Amino acid sequence: MGNSVALRDRLRARLGSRKTQGVALAVLIIMIILLPLFANNYIEEVATNTLFYIVLALGLNIVVGYAGLVDLGYAAFFAVGAYTTGIFMKFGVNFWLTIPIAVLFSVIAGIIIGGPTLRLRSDYLAIVTLGFGEITRITARNLKITGGASGLVGIQRPSIFGHILNQITDFYYLFFILVVLAVIVAMRLHNSRLGRAWQYIREDEDAAEAMGIDPVLTKLYAYMIGAAFGGIAGAFFAVKMTAISPETFAFTQSAMILLAVILGGMGKIPGAILGAAFLVLFPEIFRGIGQTRMLFFGILLVIIMVFRPQGLWPERKG
Amino acid sequence: MSKKFLSTVAVTLLTLGLVVTGCGTQPSAPTAPSTTPSASGGAIKIGLPLPMTGSEATYGKDMENSIKMAVDEINAKGGVNGKNIVTVTGDDACDPQQATAAANKLVSEGVVAIVGGYCSGATIPTLTIYNEKNLPFVITAANSSKIAAQNPGNTFEINGTAVHQTQKAIELFKKLGAKNVAIVEQGDAYSADLAKQTEDSWKAAGNTVVSHDVTNKGEQDFSSLVTSLKSKNADLVFWTAYYADGALLIKQLRQGGYKGAIVVGDGSSDLKLIEMAGAAGEGTYVLSPPVAEYLPTAKQFADAYKVKYNQSPGAYAPLAYDGMKLMADALQRAGSTDGKTIIKALSDTKDFIGLAGKVNFAADKTLKESNFIVLQIKDGKFVLLP
Amino acid sequence: MLQGLDCNYPRTWMNCSGERVHKMAVFSIVIQQIVNGLILGSFYSLIALGYSMVYGIIKLLNFAHGDIYMVGAFVGYGALGILGSKLGVGWLGIAVALLISMFLVGLLGMLIHRVAYQPLINKRAPRMSLLITAVGVSFTLFNGVMVLTNGEYKTFNTSLGYEGISIGLINITYTQIIMVVATAILMLALYWFINRTLYGKAMRAIALDQDACRLMGINVTKTIGLTFFVGSALAAAAGVMAGVYYGSIQFYMGFVIGLKAFTAAVIGGIGSIPGAMLGGLVLGLLETAGTQLPFIGSAWKDVFSFGILILLLVFKPTGILGKSEIERM
């Protein structure tokens, strides 16, 4: 036992320098940028999907991981963003202009959903958010403006500086940029006053309140920001798929995103990224085994949770 | 700090590993990022987007069987333009997102044509993906009216569309002398579309629709709907969704004392409907795509299918078979694997004789003549109505 | 957004041919719908009970519960298939199949608790992790049955008919009556178990204070396991009854009803057993009513139900019968 500890310490010492970390990160980023050069359409599609889910997972991580709120209806924000973009584009609005509109509507949705319910106990909050998720989906299914059950089809592809974005590679880079932005925002939030307030509330809400933090308002901010993430992701989703239907925003979707966040390790940015990657890549890699792949996924999930309930990402010390 | 580093390494390795494994599991994928379809090594690759998992998997398997049978026959006769056909199946699981992933996968494997498509909701988002590579797409089952509206130019439907089916439905309603028609759908792209088309047409002809209801897929209890329909004196109930829940509705309607006519759309046209509805199913009218049993030309096909796969062909087997044969015919006429040429050849199809009858395409690339038939359940079996 | 058809929602009591509908007819329709709602509700209640019991004792929202219901239906199907030749497919065969399914699926519930949940409880893992494990179990059951049955629908072959009693325009079949009676019997049995036996007392005690119970010498783990047994057995009973009543089962059936029963448990007050019973009936009635109300109709009935749920939770978070607790987090 003494040997292994020493080995770990030596490795840590050698690899722990910031320089090495920076290099590793740079290598990772370069590889991601170069991926389209040696990958085919399918791999790019899967990678783009992964990046997309990473954005969603980072958004939900703020709600669930930072602020400790259980949200079983996150897909609602995603839906609001996607449909807003889809509908406004049908009226001729330029895609890039619909993004702030989509964010606005998503945040409003966040306020509507969060406002009256955030003071509820976490389990009730979970159910309420689930209810709102379903309400959003059914509303989208029933209204004419959202295209009814068939959804919105034929959404135009956006163009940037005259170049039309309709290749998978375009979306790959676009989502990569989104991921980078999302990570930066998430990190800044975590280290901000708001981020510390969230941590405080998670640890001991009563003490936080005694110190002058308004728990309901602070949680609401988490909700709004998470909603904004979802809304942006939704907007880009709409133009990538060119067709959105209510079924995409069913409870299963919310459950998946939550899975990604918790599987990877709640509250940690690399955890959310890892969880999202696992979630997307697992079913794709095992496409070969067909039907049984989701069965294995379920079993694997149970095994991982039983043996590592804190998530796949290693715990931070202290 | 070091933990964070180790973690970064872990993520890098994991991501790379997964991506590389993903690369590795690509069967004969071209190493260059080119996706130009090629008759690689003397074979013509055709992609089959079908629901192989999920609730519609039985239809997907059935269609795949049928298509493969057609391919075997074609190859036995020397293939197309001297080359054999090879098929690649993409599982769309009747879900738009999975369908898009499957479509991209098929494209990346260098297919030159696409035959398949069962769920309209899953098929529609893939049309542009295929069109971008000029891949001709013969849709053998999906028939929402939105497909023709969204057709980017490469898609041909050989299944009667919702428009055709609506015509047939209205004809039947009139024949049965229906006065108060009730329509029940499930809120998905296919059933909602058929329901709306039917409602609009029926009302446009000056008739009454007493009720238009939406039920949830998987919900088994229709008692409140049954009571409601009875109270509105509906004399004909038209179910536009799929067989499983349709069977339950039929049972509960009869159980509740409903005495009027029941008509179901082609999504419910399946032997399982009879089994699941039991005695209550007697007398139900079924709008159906041409089913092998009732096509004089298809007896041979049905027998061959039974021998090969040990079960009767399903409702969409003949159309799937026709779809592949039509594509092969178009490839032959095109004389090349160039997408645009094949698309033109398909447009120019004149009187192609399939199991389901003659195929001619209208300007919007749907069938010129509808091929829907009306069946009725009598003595626990489907019987063709004249 | 009206379901906007001419005579769908008559303003006065007229039917589509423009004739005035007799008041008795309207009255019978209302009664019939109430009957429909109660029967539907009794299914919800049976399943909601399992949710409430498990939540009450370990504060876990057991996502896999709906799939237990589904597995129960399939085990019952299998049992009936084997027994059918010996005991016939009438009420006797069904009853025995029901009991077999309850027993076996109860054991399955206990197994799942031991393997998937208890280890996390022992590690004092965060509640979210427990939730995710439940999702994993749900996936496993759901996909497991899908793979085993190839996604096919299985039909229950029973010799039950449609005979029943008719009071005026109201129809109730004997099958429906037996279903309701069976549900009532099960619920009474549960009530007796919880309130009159030592095991039941232990369960209630653990729900209040787990650590104190441990100190008092109660085997907490075993009792929790027993809770899972009972909850799962009830869900299995509901599953078999659904199979018999509706006629066909498929791997997907747990998903939809799971969500509904969940809602029912919360409406009645999650953690409360009479609450689950009441919540189920309330939800059944709400849904049925929702389909009949103008501007709502069948397309929006779930929105209606969820809307009521949300309003209830916002203004009375503990549900109808839940106990008021001032608890954070």
SS3 of residue B237 by DSSP? strand
Say if residue B212 is in the same domain as residue B310: no
Mean pLDDT across C65-73: 95
Chains linked to C by 3 or more Cβ pairs within 8 Å: A, B
- pLDDT, residue B384, reads 86
The single-letter DSSP state of residue A115 is H
CA dihedral A44, A273, A235, A188 (to 10 degrees): -130
| Within-domain flag for C72 | yes
Mean pLDDT confidence for C94-117: 94
Residue C121 pLDDT greater than 60, yes or no: yes
Name the minimum distance, in Å, from the CA of B51 to any CA of chain C: 12
Size of interface A-B (CB pairs under 8 A): 155
> Quick one: pLDDT band at residue B159, thresholds 50, 70, 90?
confident
Same domain, B260 and B166: yes
B204 touches chain C (CB under 8 A): no
What pLDDT is recorded for position C262? Answer: 84
End-to-end CA distance of chain C: 39
Q: Output DSSP code: residue B315.
A: T
Predicted pLDDT of residue B189? 80
**Dist. CA B106–CA B99, nearest whole Å:** 10
CA distance A40 to chain B (A): 5
Q: Are B319 and B356 in contact (CB under 8 A)?
A: yes
Distance between CA atoms of residues A57 and A276, nearest Å: 6
Residue B102's pLDDT is what?
Answer: 87
Kindly determine whether residue C306 and residue A255, on different chains, have CB atoms separated by under 8 Å: no
**Are residues B202 and B316 part of one domain?**
no
Is the same domain home to B153 and B168?
no
Residue B339 falls inside a structural domain: yes
The pLDDT of residue A68 is 84
Whether C124 and chain A come into contact, CB under 8 Å, resolves to no
C325 CB neighbours in chain A (<8 A) are 121
Mean residue pLDDT of chain C comes to: 83
* Pairwise CA distance, residues C204 & C84, whole Å: 40
Q: Would the pLDDT of B88 be above 50?
A: yes
Contact C253 B218 (CB under 8 A): yes
- Give the model's pLDDT for residue A314: 63
Q: Are residues B270 and B202 in the same domain?
A: yes
* Mean pLDDT, rounded, for B96-101: 82
Q: Is the pLDDT of residue B131 over 80?
A: yes
- The residue among B58, B203, B221, B252 with the most chain C CBs within 10 A of its CB, best to mutate, is B221
Q: Between these two residues, B41 and B260, which has the higher pLDDT value? A: B260
Residues B58 and B186 in one domain: no
Confidence band (pLDDT; 50, 70, 90) for A104?
very high
What pLDDT was estimated at residue C19?
53
Establish if C176 belongs to a structural domain.
yes
Cβ of B255 within 8 Å of Cβ of C248? The answer is: no
Q: What is the share, in percent, of chain A residues with pLDDT greater than 90?
A: 32
Same domain for B125 and B112?
A: yes
Confidence of residue C323 (pLDDT cuts 50, 70, 90): low
Residue C258: closest CA among C50, C98, C107: C50
Residues 166-205 of C with CB under 8 A from A: none
What's the pLDDT score for residue C324? 53
Least confident of A103-112, A296-305, B28-37, B133-142: B28-37
Per the model's pLDDT, the better-predicted residue between A100 and B310 turns out to be A100
Taking residues A41-53, report their average pLDDT: 86
Q: How confident is the model at residue C14 (pLDDT cuts 50, 70, 90)?
A: very low
Query: pLDDT of A148-172, one tens digit each?
Result: 887 887 788 888 887 877 777 888 8
DSSP string over B127-196: HHHHHHTT--EEESS---HHHHHH--SSEEE-S--HHHHHHHHHHHHHHHT-SEEEEEE-SSHHHHHHHH
The predicted structure's pLDDT at residue B23: 42
Q: Write the pLDDT tens digit of every residue in A186-235.
A: 999 999 999 999 888 887 778 888 888 888 899 999 999 999 999 999 99
- Do B19 and B60 meet the contact criterion of CB atoms below 8 Å apart? no
Question: Is B153 found in the same domain as B13?
Answer: yes
- For residues B212 and B282, state if they share a domain: yes
Q: Pick B121's closest partner by Cβ from A21, A39, A247.
A: A247
- pLDDT-derived band at C117 (thresholds 50, 70, 90) equals very high
pLDDT of C118 higher than 50? yes
pLDDT at A276 (0 to 100): 92
In a domain, C5, yes or no: no
Compute CA distances C137 → A258, B49, C120, whole Å: 16, 30, 14
Q: Do B46 and B85 meet the contact criterion of CB atoms below 8 Å apart? A: yes
B178 pLDDT more than 80 = yes
Query: Is residue B385 included in any domain, yes or no?
Result: no
B88-114 mean pLDDT: 87
- Residue C110 near residue C273, CB atoms below 8 Å: no
Q: A6 CA to chain B: closest CA distance, Å?
A: 15
Q: What is the pLDDT of residue A240?
A: 87
Dist CA B136 CA B339 (whole Å): 6
Residues with Cβ < 8 Å from C130, sequence gap 6 or more?
A309, C58, C60, C117, C120, C121
Per the prediction, chain B carries an average pLDDT of 84
Give the mean pLDDT of C280-287: 92
Tens digits of residue pLDDT in A224-268: 999 999 999 999 999 888 788 888 888 888 988 988 888 888 888
Could you give the number of structural domains in chain C? Answer: 1
pLDDT-derived band at B32 (thresholds 50, 70, 90) equals very low
Q: What is the CATH number of the domain that holds B72?
A: 3.40.50.2300
Give the structural domain span for C172. Answer: 40-159+167-291+300-315
CA distance C187 to C46: 8
Q: What does the pLDDT read at residue B13?
A: 52
The pLDDT value given to residue B372 = 87
| CB-closest option in A122, A131, A294 to C306 | A131
Over range B203-222, report the average pLDDT: 88
Last residue of a domain, one of B227, B259, B288: B288
Contact A120 C309 (CB under 8 A): no
Model pLDDT, residue C11: 36
Residues B29 and B101 in one domain: yes
pLDDT tops 80 at residue B265: yes
Chosen for mutation from B186, B191, B228, B242 (greatest number of chain C CBs closer than 10 Å) is B228
Per-residue pLDDT reduced to its tens digit, B223-248 = 889 988 988 889 999 999 988 899 99
Within-domain flag for C49? yes
Residue C27 lies in a domain: no
Count of structural domains, chain B = 2
pLDDT band at A309 (very low <50, low <70, confident <90, very high): confident
Chain B nearest C-alpha distance from C114 (Å): 30
CATH of the domain at C243: 1.10.3470
Can you tell me which residue has the tokens 């494994």? B21
Residue A291: pLDDT band (50, 70, 90) is low
Where helices occur in B42-95 by DSSP H, the ranges are: 57-76
Task: Give the pLDDT band (50/70/90) at residue A67.
Answer: confident
User: Quick one: which H or E segment has residue B44?
Assistant: strand B43-50
- Does some domain include residue C154? yes
| Predicted confidence (pLDDT) per residue in C261-275, tens digit | 888 988 888 888 889
- Look at residue B72 and tell me if it is in a domain: yes
Sign of CA dihedral A261, A264, A268, A269: negative
Tell me the shortest Cα–Cα distance from A225 to chain C, in angstroms: 21
Q: Is residue C239 part of a domain?
A: yes
Kindly report the number of other CB atoms within 10 A of residue C23's CB atom: 9
For residue C1, give the nearest of A142, A292, A302 by CB distance: A142
pLDDT at C12 over 70: no
| Beta carbons of B96 and A288 less than 8 Å apart | no
pLDDT at C227 over 80: yes
- Domain span at residue B64 reads 8-160+296-359
A318 band by pLDDT with thresholds 50, 70 and 90:
very low
- Give partners of A (≥3 CB pairs < 8 A): B, C
Q: Assess if residue B15 is contained within a domain.
A: yes
- Sorted by where each begins, the domain ranges of chain A are 42-251
| Percent of residues in chain A assigned helix, strand, coil, to nearest 5 | 80, 5, 20
Residue ranges of C 150-169 with Cβ closer than 8 A to chain A: none
Of B194, B314, B208, the closest CA to residue B265 belongs to B194
pLDDT at B339 over 60: yes
Q: What is the pLDDT of residue A4?
A: 59
The reply to whether B106 and B121 lie within a common domain is yes
Do B143 and B93 fall within a single domain? yes
CA atoms within 13 A on the CB side of C1: 14
- Residue B126, in any domain of the structure: yes
Label residue C22 by pLDDT band (50, 70, 90): low
pLDDT range class, residue C328, cuts 50, 70, 90:
very low
